[in-house]
Amino acid sequence: MKCSVQRRKIDIDELIEITRNPEAGAIVVFLGTVRKNSEDKEIQWLFYEAYEEMVVEELDRIVKEAMDKFHITDINLIHRLGRLGIKEDSVAICVSSPHRAEAFRACQFVIDEVKTRAPIWKMDITADGEKAWH
The string of pLDDT tens digits covering residues 101-113 is 999 999 999 999 9
Query: Do 63 and 31 meet the contact criterion of CB atoms below 8 Å apart?
Result: no
pTM, two decimals, is 0.95
Mean pLDDT of 89-111: 98
Backbone φ and ψ of 109, nearest 5°: -55, -45
Q: Which CATH number fits domain 2-133: 3.40.50.720, 3.40.190.10, 3.90.1170.40, 3.40.1190.20?
A: 3.90.1170.40
User: Does the pLDDT value for residue 40 go beyond 90?
Assistant: no
Cα distances (angstroms) measured from residue 83 to each of 9, 26, 101, 116, 134: 11, 32, 34, 21, 15
Rounded to whole angstroms, the Cα distance separating 5 from 7 reads: 7
Q: Structural domain boundaries of the chain?
A: 2-133
